[in-house]
């Protein structure tokens, strides 16, 4: 005689969530255990957000949720349902670069560029909260983002320049940041 099959409740294997992605409503179906980083890259095709350490230590995966920087490698995608998410792909407005992107390009603040999307998103959150950040405040806001190529000086100056532009001020890179120290 066969015994009856036992009924085992299995966890929900997939989830469907809707959130506002770079200003547009987006509904995505994905494995429930996937991080926001995985869903953005694999399901939404937004590969600007980078896989770095996947331990929350490098900041390469930084995106904005409700305007606040989060490490998308540590957040489950189901946790952000219904919330606005901004990625590097949503930073520019049409063909117009955000001032942060312009100043990073003008100063050569990005070298290999792998960390740049995360840094730009953390910086965007800062300049939206604080229109006149000090160098210390910029350094603190970017402290969770590691860059292995630069000494951070041009990155900090680029954020200062973008903040000035966002305040409506004229800004140009310093002579030293473009040409080095004067002899």
Residues 145-182: pLDDT tens digits?
999 988 899 999 999 999 999 999 998 887 777 777 77
Q: Where are the domains positioned within the chain? A: 15-90, 99-168
For the packed helices 116-129 and 153-166, what is the interaxial angle rounded to 10 degrees?
A: 40
Give the number of other CB atoms < 10 A from CB of residue 152: 15
Measure the CA–CA gap between 178 and 164, rounded to whole angstroms. 18
**pLDDT tens, 23-68?**
999 999 999 999 999 999 999 999 999 999 999 999 999 999 999 9
CATH code assigned to 99-168:
1.10.150.120
* Global pTM value: 0.89
Region of 66 (left: φ > 0; alpha: ψ -120 to 50; beta: rest) is left
Pairing of strands 84-86, 68-71: unpaired
Average of per-residue pLDDT across 73-99: 96
* 5: pLDDT strictly greater than 80: no
Q: Which CATH class is domain 15-90?
A: alpha beta
């Amino acid at each position: 005689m066969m015994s009856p099959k036992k009924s085992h409740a299995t966890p929900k294997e997939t989830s469907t969530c809707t959130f506002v992605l770079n200003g547009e409503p987006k509904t995505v179906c994905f494995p429930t255990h996937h991080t926001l980083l995985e869903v953005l890259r694999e399901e939404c095709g937004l590969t600007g957000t980078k896989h770095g350490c996947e331990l929350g230590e490098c900041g390469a995966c930084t995106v904005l949720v409700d305007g606040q920087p989060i490490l998308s490698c540590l957040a489950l995608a189901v946790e952000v349902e219904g919330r606005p998410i901004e990625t590097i792909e949503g930073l520019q407005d049409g063909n117009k670069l955000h001032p942060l992107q312009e100043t990073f390009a003008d100063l050569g603040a990005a070298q290999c560029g792998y960390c740049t999307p995360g840094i730009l998103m953390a910086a965007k959150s800062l300049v939206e909260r604080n229109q006149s950040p000090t160098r210390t405040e910029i350094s603190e806001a970017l402290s969770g983002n590691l860059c292995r190529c630069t000494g951070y000086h041009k990155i900090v100056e680029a954020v200062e320049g973008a903040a000035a532009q966002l305040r409506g001020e004229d800004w140009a890179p310093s002579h030293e940041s473009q040409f080095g120290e004067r002899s």
